[in-house]
């Protein structure tokens, strides 16, 4: 049976996990949270698993949490705004 979460619980889970990952990785928590939201939006089948065990899901499914597998654009180091479909095209992968 799938557990039901309140919107506040969902945000708390994502924020706490993002903060911990960001601290360990030496990156920003906002960027980490954005990546998680982007990935879960593009891969809704991961949502229940992620909410139940965020760290395990992030580690077990780390390849799915790459920028090109998400749904939201990001600000690249060169100043460009990049959409995941652009990176997928660059990598020779079809859009999903």
pLDDT attached to residue 70: 94
- Phi and psi based region of residue 26 (left: phi greater than 0; alpha: psi -120 to 50; beta: remaining): left
H-assigned helices in the chain: 7-25, 29-42, 47-52, 54-60, 84-90
pLDDT digits (tens, 9 = 90+) for 24-82: 999 999 999 999 999 999 999 999 999 999 999 988 988 999 999 999 999 999 999 99
- Write down the residue that tokens 């945000």 correspond to: 11
Domain locations in the chain?
7-71
pTM score, whole prediction: 0.87
Distance of alpha carbon 67 from the chain centroid:
8
Q: How confident is the model at residue 93 (pLDDT cuts 50, 70, 90)?
A: confident
Average pLDDT over residues 4-25: 95
Cα–Cα dist 18/21, whole Å: 5
Task: Kindly list the distances between the CA atom of residue 82 and the CA atoms of 27, 34, 77, 78, in Å, as whole numbers in the listed order.
Answer: 19, 14, 10, 10
């Amino acid at each position: 049976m799938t557990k039901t979460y309140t919107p506040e619980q969902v945000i708390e889970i994502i924020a706490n996990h993002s903060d911990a990952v960001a601290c360990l990785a030496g990156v920003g928590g906002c960027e980490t949270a954005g990546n998680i939201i982007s990935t879960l939006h593009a891969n809704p089948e991961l949502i229940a698993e992620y909410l139940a065990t965020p760290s395990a899901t992030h580690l077990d499914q780390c390849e799915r949490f790459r920028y090109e597998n998400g749904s939201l654009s990001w600000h690249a180091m060169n100043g460009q705004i990049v959409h995941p479909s652009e990176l997928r095209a660059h990598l020779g992968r079809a859009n999903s």
